[in-house]
Structure 1
Amino acid sequence: MRKIPVLYIVIPCYNEEEVLPVTAPMFLDKIHALAQKGAVSGESRILFVDDGSRDNTWKIICSLAEQDEHFMGISQSRNRGHQNAVLAGLMEARSRCDITISIDCDGQDDINAMDEMVARYMEGFEVVYGVRSRRDTDTFFKKYTAQLFYRLLNWMGAEVVYNHADYRLISSLVLDELAEFKEVNIFLRGLVPLVGFKSTQVYYERSERMAGKSHYPLSKMLSLAADGITSLSVKPIRMISMLGFAVSLLSFLMIVWIIVQFFTGKTVQGWASTCAIVCFVCGIQLICTGVIGEYIGKIYLETKARPRYIISDRTYETGETAREEKSGGPDGRTAAR
């Protein structure tokens, strides 16, 4: 039987000044409720990660931390994207707790699913994925593009949990292993399954955003899909090889046909067929070059090994020794690779 765990709820924030005052009390109530029924320790905390917001998000986080010790916050030196913000919070929390639950701050994910997540952890699971049971609140376009997103990722070889975003419980054991993954191009939905360990799923219904506006339009979804595929799969490169072979075979057959037609005297001069073939081959070449270029770009970023996040400020002090161990110096600045 496992001991009562210390839970850190990790919440990435970017320009969330409208929604934070609404959802922060909800997270606090949930921490208190879990602690009161003995599901988690009273030392559990809520860790906000400000992802370089341009509004008053960080000021609100600091105010919350002053009002209640259960609120904590770290601020990144600039905006580095949702996935890096989640990772920063997980790595900051892993030495302080037994389990983390990452969740967005907009109130769309059902926080009551945390009860079942913690219960599954107590049963022996190290990772618990929060999975949407329905998509009734989505528009027709959003619903079917999201489904296409998950199917495309799995078809391309990126192992992801269907209808799971970033609402998940991860134990400190798994976080320690996740810290060994050093890639700069982060796609946590695919990385966490790669780590392994015993996992399960908890289903919940997602509601409308409580305030503010979504920061994940179609363009970001497409970018996330591209990152997931190119970071976790080489299948597109193999598809290009197969396509190149098929086009080469077709071209060879075309050459044979042209020679036969020439010697039988049936050749007819014309530019339409020539232009069609040239445009087709050039289009294939450009697409293949673009995909290969995407991989080369990823390789370029990985070889530079830049920090995945840089923490510029915290709402709390951890002591000089702990701070120096984390940052490599006495200035309290954390650069993670």
Structure 2
Amino acid sequence: MSTPVVTLVVPCYNEEAVLPHTMKVLEHYLQELTNDGVISDKSRLLFVDDGSKDETWKLIYKASLNTDRIRGLKLAGNAGHQNALLAGLFAAKSVSDCVISLDADLQDDITVIRQFIEKFNEGNEIVYGVRRKRDTDTLFKRKTAEGFYKIMAKMGVDLVYNHADYRLMSRRALEELERFDEANLFLRGIVPLIGFTSTYVYYDRQERTAGETKYPLKKMLSFAFNGITSFSITPIRIVLLTGCAFFFVSLFVLSYFLVLKYVGETEIGWTSLIISIWLIGGLQLMAIGLIGEYIGKVYQETKRRPKYIIDMDLLNLGIPEHMKEGIPEKETLIANSLSELNGN
């Protein structure tokens, strides 16, 4: 079997603190895999700048001028981690046999990439990187993450437990993923739906070497809620069942007070009345808000706006001839060589 052409896709948002180290480590490991005959020498690193406000793109651009191993994709604005990841996956699809996605902080153990390739060569179209344990997480983050997976499972969503976005996907799997044209793509739920032969590789997550996490509590909660509402109508059904339950409880309470009135033991219950009003009013507002979330998703789908806009592509570099005038000579040579590589 010929060695596969592999592209490592790394979404980046304000990652200037970790990027030099990440580039050095990944480039060295890619060269090691090439020397061992595990992957093709045409394999590349693709860094996707998700509208960073720091020096992230400058670092990617300079690195791409110094080595053929590193390429960059710059989005016109901040499209979000999932959309930046999609942009990189779809850009790399046409020049790769398989694509591996991972985070820029290198908390995911890159040494298991060798196992990813082995599983791919055995015929697996998708290989999931799964954490053995969550010892590096805080107690709160660990419990909430575990709770999220359990809730999603109870709602009938097929998620890989303790898996994030560290995975290998074949070109064939990516072509099928591209057919999912919805605006709210929750990748951790979508990828298992593809249904191709898949397997797991287990690893231990490392501590972040520098910089700050790009997934604080607010983003984590938003991500979890998006996943739930993108894949399940169970929350709507819970609201319906709660409404039905309160309806029957109200009938029981009504019957109870009618009996009290009949026997002449009624009392003025101002407190219980106000509490009931607030409780029912709160439930109604929650129900309306939840329904609004689903309607909002339908609204986003009907607009059919692009998930992301590419500002500059250093992987499939398509610079028009009339724009090459202002490009320095070295960059022009790189542009031409990349165009030839893409043509092959």
Q: How does the TM-score come out when normalised to structure 1?
A: 0.92
Unaligned runs of 5+ in 1: 322-337
In the alignment, which residue of structure 2 is the partner of 1:233?
232
**Correspondence 1:143 to 2:134:** no
Q: Distance in 2 between matches of 1:4 and 1:261?
A: 83
In the alignment, which residue of structure 1 is the partner of 2:83?
84
Correspondence 1:289-308 to 2 at 5 A: 289-308=288-307
Deviates more, 1:303-312 or 1:30-39: 30-39
SS at match of 1:197: coil
In the alignment, which residue of structure 2 is the partner of 1:114?
113
In the alignment, which residue of structure 2 is the partner of 1:179?
178
C-alpha spacing 1:31/1:159, structure 2 compared with 1 (3 Å): same
In the alignment, which residue of structure 2 is the partner of 1:251?
250
Q: Distance in 1 between matches of 2:298 and 2:2?
A: 43
Q: Distance in 2 between matches of 1:209 and 1:320?
A: 36
Q: Distance in 2 between matches of 1:156 and 1:273?
A: 35
- Check whether the contact 1:11–1:105 (CA below 8 A) recurs between aligned residues: yes
Q: Distance in 2 between matches of 1:18 and 1:276?
A: 53
Q: Which amino acid aligns with 2:186?
A: F
C-alpha spacing 1:138/1:63, structure 2 compared with 1 (3 Å): same
RMSD: 1.4
Q: Distance in 2 between matches of 1:80 and 1:204?
A: 29
- Check whether the contact 1:158–1:228 (CA below 8 A) recurs between aligned residues: no
Q: Distance in 1 between matches of 2:155 and 2:228?
A: 6
- Check whether the contact 1:157–1:229 (CA below 8 A) recurs between aligned residues: no
Residue-by-residue CA offset, 1:296-321 (whole Å, 9 max, x unaligned): 11111111111001101122554579
In the alignment, which residue of structure 1 is the partner of 2:216?
217
Greater share of residues in helix: 2
Q: Which amino acid aligns with 2:75?
A: Q
In the alignment, which residue of structure 1 is the partner of 2:55?
56
In the alignment, which residue of structure 1 is the partner of 2:96?
97
SS at match of 2:309: strand
SS at match of 1:129: strand
Q: How does the TM-score come out when normalised to structure 2?
A: 0.90
In the alignment, which residue of structure 2 is the partner of 1:267?
266
SS at match of 2:243: helix
In the alignment, which residue of structure 2 is the partner of 1:22?
21
**Correspondence 1:194 to 2:196:** no
The offset of 1:152, in angstroms, is 2.2
- Check whether the contact 1:99–1:172 (CA below 8 A) recurs between aligned residues: yes
Seq. identity, %: 48
Q: Distance in 1 between matches of 2:186 and 2:102?
A: 15
C-alpha spacing 1:317/1:203, structure 2 compared with 1 (3 Å): closer
Q: Distance in 1 between matches of 2:121 and 2:316?
A: 31
C-alpha spacing 1:113/1:316, structure 2 compared with 1 (3 Å): closer
Q: Distance in 1 between matches of 2:15 and 2:163?
A: 22
Q: Distance in 1 between matches of 2:223 and 2:208?
A: 21
SS at match of 1:309: coil
Correspondence 1:122-133 to 2 at 5 A: 122-133=121-132
Deviates more, 1:265-274 or 1:68-77: 265-274
In the alignment, which residue of structure 2 is the partner of 1:6?
5
In the alignment, which residue of structure 2 is the partner of 1:312?
311
Q: Distance in 2 between matches of 1:152 and 1:218?
A: 18
The offset of 1:107, in angstroms, is 1.3
In the alignment, which residue of structure 1 is the partner of 2:276?
277
- How many equivalent pairs are there? 320
C-alpha spacing 1:119/1:317, structure 2 compared with 1 (3 Å): closer
Unaligned runs of 5+ in 2: 321-344
- Check whether the contact 2:46–2:315 (CA below 8 A) recurs between aligned residues: no
Q: Distance in 2 between matches of 1:283 and 1:248?
A: 15
C-alpha spacing 1:273/1:319, structure 2 compared with 1 (3 Å): closer
- Check whether the contact 1:128–1:168 (CA below 8 A) recurs between aligned residues: yes
Q: Which amino acid aligns with 2:274?
A: C
